[in-house]
Structure 1
Amino acid sequence: MIDHTGIAVTDFEASRKFYDAALAPLGASLVMMVPEEHTGGVKVGGYGYDRPRFWLHEAKEAGPGRHYAFTADKRAEVDAFHEAALAAGGKDNGAPGLRPHYHPNYYGAFVLDPDGNNIEAVCHHPE
C-alpha cells in the first residue's frame, strides 16, 4: 500500500551513518542521493533494495518522533539490526524478542535513531 516514505533529520551525516549500519543486516542500503541542485541545497537520500523506499531529508527540525518498521526475513536479521543500530549510536527501545500480544510469531527489536524516531525491524516468521 505505501510506495515510499521519508523523515526529516537534523544531522544528515550522523543519520546516514546510523541507517547505513542499521539497515545493512536487512539487505537495504543508500541507493540514491538527489543532486542538491534539485533540492535547493538540502541533502536528500533514499534507502532501499532495487529503488529508494525510505528517504532521509535534511531539516532544521526533525519534528515529533515517528515509528517505522522494516521487514526482516529471519529473526537473526532482527538481532543483527539491533546490534548494528546500537553500535552506530542508536538507543535501545526494546531488545529483540517475541511480542506475542501482536501475534505468536511477531519477533521485533526497537531502536531510537539520532533524532528520536522509533525504528523497528520485525520478522513475522517462526525462525
Structure 2
Amino acid sequence: MFDHVVFGVSDYAAARDFFIKALEPLGVAVVSEGPLGVELCRPNSQSSLCIRRVEEKATHLHLAFTAENRKQVQDFYRAALEAGGKDNGAPGLRPQYHANYYAAFVTGPDGHNIEAVCHEPEA
C-alpha cells in the first residue's frame, strides 16, 4: 500500500542505530544515507522507511513491520530491546485482532510504538 514512510526524529544517531539493529531480523537494511537522513528497505522491495533529522520534537507514530514468521517477531523484539527500545508488549498472539495475529511491540527512542507482526499460523 505504501511506497515509503518518512518521519523525523529528535536524536538522529540514536534512532538510526535503533532502527538498523531492531529491523535487521526482518531483513531490513540501509539502502542510502545522506545529509537529510537514512532510507531503510528490504531487498527487492519497493517500500522504504526514511528517517530524517529534525529540530522539533517528533510526533509519535505507530509503525508495524511485516514478519514472515513468528521467529522473526521474537528476533525483532530481542534485537529492539538490545538496541535500547522499551518493552511495549512481548511476542504473543493478539486474538482481539484475529486468530493468527502474532506480534511484539517496543517503544523506540522518540516514543514511537514499533511493532513486528506475523499473520500466519504457527509452523
TM above 0.5, one fold? yes
Corresponding residue of 1:120: 115
Corresponding residue of 2:16: 16
Equivalence map 1:1-127=2 (5 Å): 1-34=1-34, 36=35, 43-49=36-42, 50=44, 53-127=48-122
| Cα deviation digits, residues 15-36 of structure 1 (max 9, x gap) | 11101110000000111113x3
Displacement over 6 Å in runs of 4+? none
Query: Any gaps of 5 or more consecutive residues in structure 1?
Result: 37-42
Count residues with an aligned counterpart.
Answer: 120
Contact 2:10–2:58 (CA under 8 A) maintained in structure 1: no
**Per-residue deviation at 1:13?**
1.0
SS of residue paired to 1:94: coil
Which amino acid letter does the alignment assign opposite residue 2 of structure 1? F
Which amino acid letter does the alignment assign opposite residue 66 of structure 2? T
**Per-residue deviation at 1:87?**
0.5
SS of residue paired to 1:30: strand
| Cα deviation digits, residues 1-52 of structure 1 (max 9, x gap) | 2111021111111111101110000000111113x3xxxxxx3111002366
TM-score by length of 1: 0.89
Contact 1:25–1:81 (CA under 8 A) maintained in structure 2: yes
Which amino acid letter does the alignment assign opposite residue 51 of structure 2? L
State percent identity of aligned pairs: 49
**Per-residue deviation at 1:61?**
2.2
Query: Any gaps of 5 or more consecutive residues in structure 2?
Result: none
**Per-residue deviation at 1:64?**
2.5
Corresponding residue of 1:40: none
